[in-house]
Amino acid sequence: MADKKTNHQLQRFGYRHERRNGGVFFCFGLRVQFGFNQTHHSVIYFIFKGENNMAKQTMNLGRRWYVLHTYSGYEENVKHNLEQRIASFDMQDKIFNILVPKEKKIKIKNGKRTTVEEKIFPGYVLCEMIVTDDSWYVVRNTPNVTGFIGSGTTPTPIDQKEIESLMKRVMAENTQQKIDMEVNDIVRIVDGPFKNFEGKVSHVDEERGKIKVMVTMFGRETPVELDALQAKKI
Q: Which pLDDT does position 112 carry in this prediction?
A: 66
pLDDT reported for residue 229: 84
Tens of pLDDT along 107-139?
766 656 778 889 999 999 999 999 999 999 999
- Find the mean pLDDT for residues 44-56: 43
Q: For residue 21, what are the contacts with CB-CB under 8 A and spacing of at least 6?
A: 35, 36, 38
Helix axis angle, 75-88 relative to 133-140, nearest 10°?
140
pLDDT in the model for residue 63: 95
What fold does the segment set 63-177 form as a domain? Alpha-Beta Plaits (3.30.70)
Instruction: Give the separation between CA 71 and CA 124, rounded to whole angstroms.
Output: 8
**Start-end of H helices in the chain:** 4-12, 75-88, 133-140, 160-171
Res. 159: pLDDT tops 80: yes
3-state helix, strand, coil split of the chain in percent (to 5) is 20, 45, 40
Q: What is the mean pLDDT of the chain?
A: 79
Can you give the pTM of this predicted structure? 0.59
Q: Which of 58-62, 100-104, 112-116 has the highest mean pLDDT?
A: 100-104
The better pLDDT of the pair 171, 97 is held by 97
AA letter at 65: W
Give 223's strand partners: 214
| 53 or 138, which is more confident | 138
- In this prediction, residues 64-75 reach a mean pLDDT of 95
CA–centroid distance for 149 within its chain: 11
Nearest to 209 by CA among 117, 105, 104, 119: 105
Whether the pLDDT of residue 89 is over 90: the answer is yes
Q: Looking at the domain covering 181-233, what would its CATH class be? A: mainly beta
27-36, 141-150, 186-195 — which is least confidently predicted? 27-36
Q: Which residues contact 133 (CB under 8 A, 6 or more apart)?
A: 54, 56, 57
Q: Where are the domains of the chain?
A: 4-49, 63-177, 181-233
* Confidence category of residue 218, pLDDT binned at 50, 70, 90: confident
Nearby residues of 35 by Cβ (< 8 Å), 6 or more positions away: 21, 22, 43, 44, 45
In contact, 223 and 181? CB cutoff 8 Å: no
Q: Are 99 and 90 in contact (CB under 8 A)?
A: no
54 vs 39: which has the higher pLDDT: 54
Over 50: is that where the pLDDT of 43 sits?
no
Lowest mean pLDDT among 65-69, 88-92, 205-209: 205-209
Question: What separation in angstroms does the CA of 79 have from each of 62, 64, 73, 97, 153?
Answer: 22, 17, 12, 9, 21
Given this model, what pLDDT does residue 18 score? 38
Which of 180, 190, 91 is CA-nearest to residue 132? Answer: 91
**Which has the closest alpha carbon to 53: 149, 139, 150?**
139
pLDDT higher for 76 or 177? 76
CA distance 210 to 85: 47
- The percent of residues above 90 in pLDDT, for the chain, comes to 53
In this predicted model, which residue has the larger pLDDT, 213 or 54?
A: 213
